[in-house]
């Protein structure tokens, strides 16, 4: 029996040449084109079959991160079809793609709570805002973890740096969750990097040659930085050979302290990506 066909992607043109493309499957952002370039990485080998997460873009991680829970790895939100909401054409502020997911039988098999989640994607002339919201529709409180697993396109991971985490300790998931002290240097990528940084409040900057991208977060306390490195990537069937060199994942996340919502309460977390000027000012010491 053939798997159900996935819904056709939705496309939204923003100011200037900004353009986003997203699928209701997983409320998954597939593409962000801005200032003449694609800014996200989507693997050419990505699977688009129902029930399988898409490699690249921005997968939505909810209601658990990784294997920190009893449900599917990284939760079920990224492998279910959400409901796409139509914007009001008379509303000048409605330049966004919106998706909604409510609990149903297949979610309650993994996570026995009544909830409503939403994802809003808003492109600007030089920026992108992605916001995840969750409301508790249950009679009891519940807790969850979440992240926006953003694959940023880079020209070469070997020359990519992540600035702004120099003073933060981290958990090294590539080393069985070992607690590590601050590095006092930008994050570099030489082999597998899989880190969870707690309480990251200041903006981050990702430099890739002359390109610089600022990454801000609202509502999310943690940051996850990930690249599989050559050895791990070689065993990933949905990643093309050498594909790990073309992206870095910098994720706004809520991992180490799950969000707790009482009945009727709601939470929103957002990641804002902003294109900036030359990366030259970050070369000293980097």
Provide the annotated active-site residues.
149, 251
By C-alpha distance, which of 261, 24, 252 is closest to 146? 252
Distances (CA, A) of 61 to 73, 82, 183, 230: 9, 13, 27, 24
Q: How many C-beta atoms surround the C-beta of residue 56 within 10 A? A: 27
Distances (CA, A) of 99 to 11, 68, 256: 13, 25, 26
DSSP class of residue 58?
Answer: B
How many CA atoms lie within 13 Å of 19's alpha carbon, on the beta-carbon side? Answer: 10
The residue assigned the tokens 């590590």 is 180
- Which residues are within 8 A (CB) of 140 and not within 5 positions of it... i.e. 6 or more apart? 113, 263
Distances (CA, A) of 103 to 22, 136, 143, 185, 267: 21, 10, 15, 43, 16
Bridge partner list, 224: 196, 251
Chain center to CA of 88 = 26
Residue pair 77/147 in contact by the 8 Å Cβ criterion: no
DSSP H/E element including 237: none
């Amino acid at each position: 029996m053939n798997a159900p066909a996935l819904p056709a992607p939705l496309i939204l043109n923003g100011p200037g040449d900004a353009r986003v493309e997203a699928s209701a499957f997983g409320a998954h952002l597939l593409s962000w084109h801005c200032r003449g370039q694609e800014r996200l990485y989507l693997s050419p080998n990505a699977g688009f079959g129902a029930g399988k997460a898409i490699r690249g873009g921005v997968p939505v991680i909810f209601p658990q991160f990784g294997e920190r829970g009893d449900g599917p790895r990284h939760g079920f939100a990224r492998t279910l079809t959400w409901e796409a909401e139509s914007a009001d054409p008379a509303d000048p502020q409605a330049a966004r793609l919106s998706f909604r997911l409510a609990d149903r039988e297949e979610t309650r098999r993994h996570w026995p709570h009544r909830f409503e989640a939403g994802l809003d994607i808003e492109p600007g002339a030089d920026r992108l805002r992605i916001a995840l919201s969750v409301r508790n529709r249950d009679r009891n409180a519940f807790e969850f973890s979440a992240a926006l697993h953003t694959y940023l396109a880079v020209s070469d991971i070997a020359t990519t740096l992540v600035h702004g985490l120099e003073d933060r300790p981290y958990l090294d998931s590539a080393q069985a969750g070992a607690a590590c002290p601050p590095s006092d240097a930008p994050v570099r990528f030489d082999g597998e990097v899989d880190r969870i940084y707690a309480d990251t409040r200041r903006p981050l900057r990702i430099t890739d040659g002359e390109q610089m991208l600022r990454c801000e977060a609202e509502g999310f306390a943690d940051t996850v930085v990930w690249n599989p490195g050559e050895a791990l990537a070689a065993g990933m069937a949905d990643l093309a050979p050498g594909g790990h060199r073309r992206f870095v994942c910098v994720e706004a996340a809520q991992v180490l302290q799950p969000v707790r919502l009482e009945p009727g309460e709601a939470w929103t977390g957002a990641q804002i990506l902003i294109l900036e000027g030359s990366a030259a000012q970050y070369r000293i010491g980097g």
